[in-house]
Structure 1
Amino acid sequence: MLSKRTTTITLAALAAGACMATTAAAQATGTTQHAPAAARAAALPPGYQVVTLPNANVPNFQRRTLLCPGTKRVLGGGAEAQGNRAILVGSFPTPDGRGWIGIGRQDGYNDVGISVYAICAD
């Protein structure tokens, strides 16, 4: 039995903003404790939402596009190629900044499983 290989690229950790704020506060007070959950949540931009396009098989090199809901804009995202010898070929924002695109291929097969993720905000 062949082992299943998963290739993942993940982009944009928005929580980094909360960590940077926590680090600055800790340096100012001389403490090393992390900010409370409420402070970390307050550091997120208005309308923050992680949106997922679940795995689906598509022909090799076919784009899977995920758009942010409503008028939200994409802050970052990623994609995942699933299957034996699956390769993620591309993971990037849409030209209009409203979503994320994932592209992949799978050696020896005509299709590949692709999932797409987007971090959206107002």
Structure 2
Amino acid sequence: MRGRLVIAAGALAMALTPGTGWAAQDSDVQATGSHRADAPVSRDDSRAGQGVPGYELVRLPNANVPNFQRRTVYCPAGKKALGGGAEARGNSAILVGSFPTDDGRGWIGLGRQTTTDNVGISVFVICANV
């Protein structure tokens, strides 16, 4: 049943956010502290989520990290993830995974490149009061 809820939440999030798609990220920001202070998380509470209480899109900007390293972005306190995604950047970049955190408060992504030992990964999570 949980799998169906995740898929349904992701579908809802994508329906509410034009131009977004599924993607991944590569390092656990809160657990590892790998999120750099000079690369702030951006937030967008634009009109895209009208009608969804507390709608907010939180982004973790692109950063080069070792292949297969997870990156995680979290919703603000009191909000849950409805969906999310990530992007692997580079000439031979491959998005390996994109999925919610176990507690439902964020989104995880990871990737790799076939020709180098690091990959550029950006991640986003769609949050709301649920």
TM-score w.r.t. structure 2 length? 0.63
Amino acid at match of 2:114: D
- Structure 1 unmatched runs, 5+: 1-9, 17-37
Residue 84 to residue 97, structure 1, CA distance change in 2 (3 Å): same
- Structure 2 unmatched runs, 5+: 1-9, 18-46
Question: Which among 27, 36, 54 is matched to residue 47 of structure 1?
Answer: 54
Amino acid at match of 2:101: T
Kindly indicate whether residue 75 of structure 2 is the aligned counterpart of residue 68 of structure 1: yes
Indicate the structure with greater strand content: 1
Kindly indicate whether residue 100 of structure 2 is the aligned counterpart of residue 93 of structure 1: yes
- Asked which structure has the greater CA Rg, the reply is 1
Query: How many residue pairs were aligned?
Result: 90
Q: State the partner residue of 1:120.
A: 127
Query: Alpha-carbon deviation of 1:118?
Result: 0.5
Q: Which runs of 4+ in 1 moved over 4 A?
A: none
Residue 42 to residue 89, structure 1, CA distance change in 2 (3 Å): closer
In 1, are the aligned partners of 2:49 and 2:55 still within 8 Å (CA)? no
Kindly indicate whether residue 107 of structure 2 is the aligned counterpart of residue 106 of structure 1: no
Residue 110 to residue 47, structure 1, CA distance change in 2 (3 Å): same
**3-state DSSP of counterpart to 2:14:** coil
